[in-house]
Amino acid sequence: MSGIQNGLIGSMTKKTYAIGDIGPSGVGKVIYDAGSVQSWGRYIEAAEPYTDAGQRVWSGQQFVSCGASGTAIGTGKSNTAAIIAQSNTANCAATICTAFNGGGFTDWFLPSRDEMTQWYNQKSYFTSVNTGREYWTSSETASDGGYAIYMVTGGISVKSKSSGYLSRPMRYFS
């Protein structure tokens, strides 16, 4: 950024990020660039390094829909908010992600189906991916189901919310 130079205010430029760069948290890597600022931000960073907190159920309320049906990029944070609003039970996939405060940031969330697909597509930039496991997304499919991604193939499948899978915190930024 340019600042005050010789008593004049210089132009202010924002840093741009490439896929795989360390994000502004210092503990995440950029997995997606929308190309311009969207309503949710421009970039997504996924926590790295991150020690998976173990297999967790999707939420504390496993048999009632909470309306977290967004699958697109930019819907993970609102999905996570819907999950937490319904059941703020500790040690579930959504609460583990929102409790993460990497880099001092408190806006981490459980990513949507398409956000997790982006992470799968960029997994070569990460050292802490458990490639033999499945990871939860915040995208709900039914009152008792949600999407999970298998990190070997990138396959997305519907799983019972009462099943235990891993999770990965992500955050948006501009």
The per-residue pLDDT for 5 is 40
pLDDT tens string 60-88: 877 888 889 999 999 999 999 999 999 88
C-alpha 145/C-alpha 46 separation (Å) is 24
The per-residue pLDDT for 12 is 61
The per-residue pLDDT for 1 is 39
The per-residue pLDDT for 6 is 39
Q: If residue 77 lies in a helix (H) or strand (E), which one and from where to where?
A: helix 76-86
Give me 57's structure tokens.
Answer: 């159920």
The per-residue pLDDT for 11 is 54
State the burial class of residue 53 (Cβ atoms within 10 Å of its Cβ: 0-12, 13-18, 19+): middle
What average pLDDT does the chain have? 89
The structural domains of the chain, with segments of one domain joined by +, span 16-173
pLDDT tens string 129-162: 888 889 999 999 988 899 999 999 999 999 999 9
Do residues 147 and 141 touch, judged by C-beta distance below 8 A? yes
Do residues 30 and 17 touch, judged by C-beta distance below 8 A? yes
Give me 161's structure tokens.
Answer: 């919310």
pLDDT over 70 (residue 7): no
Instruction: Report the predicted TM-score, pTM, of the whole model to 2 decimal places.
Output: 0.88
